[in-house]
């Protein structure tokens, strides 16, 4: 007993109790056994209840941030906190010390562990799906810009499968992808122009290019007009 406590504080007794504390895992609880000792004024009728209530409050505060699978960590933290005397002035009671033993139901622990495993598996599967979708989108966007990417990939992974029929299929896929691409109408027009001018003589190609450039310039398209002229000149 501390020397600064008067004689009428000499009344003391044991702390014994069992209670549950909510863990950080929703729906799962720790089972707690507590032992200790209290000291109080003789005028208080239920000092042990006050002492146990204090222990329950402190352990519950710690338990809310600890997983059921880490019950030993909660036990160490709680005993570190409760191993020192604490005065409760309102009740004129002093908790000299308290020691807790934390238990987790083996069934609950196994159930929680299996739930976490399922969650981890589901998250991994979701991540793999997102990664596959991301790769597909990247490949699709690449096809819109350069359909030969599909041919290059096939030649890299399965060169023996590249046949004339494969080339025809790839061309069909490229047109199909372009149909659903943003600005597909513009892509279709460009394809038509390319097909139409493929067999024309250079003078005819130059004439069409000049007319197209004139229209572009009228609508403020000087930059694409210069690009078209450069492309036509490079083909000559």
pLDDT given for residue 222 in this prediction = 84
Spatial neighbors of 181 by CB under 8 A, at least 6 apart, are: 144, 187
CB 236 within 8 A of CB 201: no
Spatial neighbors of 83 by CB under 8 A, at least 6 apart, are: 97, 98, 99
* Boundaries of every domain in the chain: 7-104, 119-185, 200-236
Question: Using the 8-state DSSP alphabet, how is residue 202 labeled?
Answer: H
Question: Using the 8-state DSSP alphabet, how is residue 89 labeled?
Answer: G
pLDDT digits (tens, 9 = 90+) for 58-79: 999 999 999 999 999 999 999 9
Helix (H) / strand (E) element for 37: namely: strand 29-40
The model carries a pTM of 0.53
pLDDT digits (tens, 9 = 90+) for 95-140: 999 999 999 999 999 999 998 899 888 999 889 988 888 887 877 7
**Which of 54-58, 126-130, 196-200, 224-228 ranks highest by mean pLDDT?**
54-58
Question: Using the 8-state DSSP alphabet, how is residue 199 labeled?
Answer: T
CATH superfamily of domain region 7-104: Band 7 domain (3.30.479.30)
């Amino acid at each position: 007993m501390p020397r600064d406590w008067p004689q009428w504080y000499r009344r003391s007794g044991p702390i014994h109790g069992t209670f549950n504390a909510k863990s950080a895992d929703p729906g799962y609880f720790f089972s707690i056994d507590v032992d200790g000792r209290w000291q109080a004024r003789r005028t208080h009728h239920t000092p042990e209840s006050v002492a146990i209530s204090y222990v329950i409050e402190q352990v519950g505060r710690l338990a809310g941030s600890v997983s059921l699978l880490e019950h030993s960590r909660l036990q160490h933290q709680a005993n570190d906190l409760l191993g020192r005397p604490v005065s409760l002035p309102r009740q004129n009671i002093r908790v000299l010390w308290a020691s807790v033993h934390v238990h987790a139901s083996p069934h609950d622990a196994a159930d929680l562990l299996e739930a976490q495993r399922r969650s981890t598996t589901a998250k991994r599967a979701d991540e793999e799906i997102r990664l596959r979708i991301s790769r597909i989108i990247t490949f699709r966007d690449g096809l819109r810009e350069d359909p030969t990417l599909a041919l290059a990939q096939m030649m890299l992974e399965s060169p023996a499968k590249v046949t004339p029929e494969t080339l025809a299929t790839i061309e069909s896929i490229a047109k199909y992808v372009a149909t659903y691409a943003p600005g597909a109408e513009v892509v279709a027009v460009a394809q038509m122009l390319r097909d139409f001018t493929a067999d024309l003589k250079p003078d005819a190609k130059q004439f069409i290019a000049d007319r197209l450039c004139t229209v572009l310039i009228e609508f403020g398209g000087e930059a694409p007009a210069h690009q078209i002229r450069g492309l036509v000149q490079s083909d000559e």
